[in-house]
Amino acid sequence: MTVVELATAADEPELRRLLREHPMAGEIRVTLEREPDAAFAAAVAGEPHATIVARRRDGGICGMGSRSVTDAFINGRPSRLGYLSQLRLDREERRHAGLLRLLAGGYGKLHELRAAGEAPFDLTAIVADNRAARRLLAAGLPGLPTYLELEPFVTLVLPAPRRGWRRRRTWKPAPPAGVTIERGAAEAMAAVAACLQRNRRRCQFAPSFSAAALTSPVRSRGLAPHDFHLAVRGSQVVGCLALWDQSAFKQVVVRGYGRRLSLLRPALNRLSPLLGTPRLPAAGEPLPHAYVSHVAVDGDDPRIFAALMAAARGAAAGRFLYLIAGFAERHPFLGSLGSLRRQAREYRSVLYAVCREEGRAAVAALDARIPHLEVALL
């Protein structure tokens, strides 16, 4: 008999095992790992954060799922929004006749934790290639919440420049006249928070950050003021972007490739220095990367965004091999990347609103704002 219950601190090693042993499906199979302590990444993802586990009779854990709650904007208004993630099941359980009961129990336990004042739906993303999971969860099966498809989300793995890379291949767009690009500093964090607040109201689901959250060693672990790049006009911060190195508590590890990519990988890696495209690591290798996070630009000016990205890439040279950025497919910033996007590897997922019957009206009431999720928090 398998029971579903809240995880405890004693379960932490088993949670990390499940994440390590269950790659996300797709042409490139990766695990999203949380070494050395999953609690560090949980605190970054949101508060409260809850993980439920499926526990076998012998006490072993065979499945997990998590829910984090963050401050975000819904239809331009500050809200408390849940995000569902880390759904993992051991392979034997996926084939078990009681799979539906197990899933229903897990979703029911997470639903019990919903607090008053939170949005009546949660968000989640499923890899577009994982058609089996999308079919199962969106099938409207008894006991499961409703998965309402919203729109595609694009995650880019961009090559970081190499030190000494030939100048003619450098992507370095200039900011508009009157705008300078500067590094962040502690005294600028209040202005950065203000820039994030006023611009993210235009986006659906965009997380909001106070100055205190931006400098919190728990909520923003591994992120320092000098990791920010700021666009400044006069004395006002009109754009911001950060490079967030989370490798001390979160890792992306390649676990394998589809048949086509597995055959092509040696040739693609030989050509990558000439093409400026990311090298495809061997199975078992982590991706040495930083997240492009805390993006906000007044008026969504594409020239300012491109200049901020160029500055961040310059700062990444010699430190990281890859930068990971994520935007909804219709976000204008994707088009601002120009030739740089052609050098990236793209991973597509689909955003869903997850709700019970009482949440359907709130999902139907979502306006046409472009979603913006913080990929570093997913």
Average pLDDT for 277-285: 84
Residue 174, burial from CB neighbour count under 10 angstroms (0-12, 13-18, 19+): exposed
Q: At residue 2, what are phi and psi to the nearest 5 degrees?
A: -100, 130
Tokens at residue 289, please?
């990367």
Q: What distance lies between CA 2 and its chain's CA centroid? A: 31
Q: pLDDT at position 352, please?
A: 97
pLDDT at 299 exceeding the cut of 50:
yes
Average pLDDT for 232-243: 97
Per-residue confidence band for 33, with pLDDT thresholds at 50, 70 and 90: very high
Per-residue confidence band for 170, with pLDDT thresholds at 50, 70 and 90: low
CA dist., res. 368 & res. 33, Å (int): 34
Tokens at residue 228, please?
């920010």
Residues 6+ apart with CB under 8 A from 40: 34, 221, 248, 249, 250
Q: What is the DSSP string of 278-301?
A: PP-PPTT-B--EEEEEEEEEGGG-
Q: pLDDT at position 167, please?
A: 45
Query: Which amino acid is present at 140?
Result: G
Contact between 65 and 110 (Cβ < 8 Å): yes
**Comparing C-alpha atoms, which of 21, 15, 23 is closest to residue 41?**
15
CA dist., res. 44 & res. 222, Å (int): 10
Percent of the chain's residues with pLDDT above 90: 67
Per the document, the length of the chain is 378
Per-residue confidence band for 160, with pLDDT thresholds at 50, 70 and 90: confident
Classify the phi-psi angles of 283: left when phi > 0, otherwise alpha if psi is within -120 to 50, otherwise beta.
Answer: beta
Average pLDDT for 129-140: 86
What's the Rg (C-alpha) of the chain?
A: 21
Domains of the chain: residue spans and CATH = 3-152 (3.40.630.30), 157-250+277-348 (3.40.630.30)
Average pLDDT for 3-31: 89
How are beta strands 77-89 and 118-127 bridged, if at all? Answer: parallel
Contact between 61 and 73 (Cβ < 8 Å): no
Per-residue confidence band for 143, with pLDDT thresholds at 50, 70 and 90: confident
CA dist., res. 30 & res. 280, Å (int): 12
pLDDT at 88 exceeding the cut of 60:
yes
pLDDT at 168 exceeding the cut of 50:
no
